[in-house]
Amino acid sequence: MSETEIFKVLADPTRRAILERLSAGEATATDLREGFAITQPAMSQHLAVLRGAGLVSERREGRFAHYRVDPDGFAPLHQWLGRYRAFWPDRIDNLKDLLREMDQ
Partner DNA sequence: TCGACTCATAAGTCTGTGCTTATGTGTTAG
Partner DNA sequence: CTAACACATAAGCACAGACTTATGAGTCGA
- One-letter amino acid identity for 88? W
Q: Pick from 1, 16, 29, 93 the residue near DNA by CB under 7 A.
A: 29
Which CB, 34 or 101, lies closer to DNA? 34
What is d(CA 58, CA 60) in angstroms, rounded to the nearest whole number? 6
User: Which residues lie near a copy of itself (CB under 8 A)?
Assistant: 3-4, 7-8, 10-13, 16, 19-20, 23, 69, 71-72, 74, 77-78, 80-81, 83-88, 91-92, 95-96, 98-99, 102
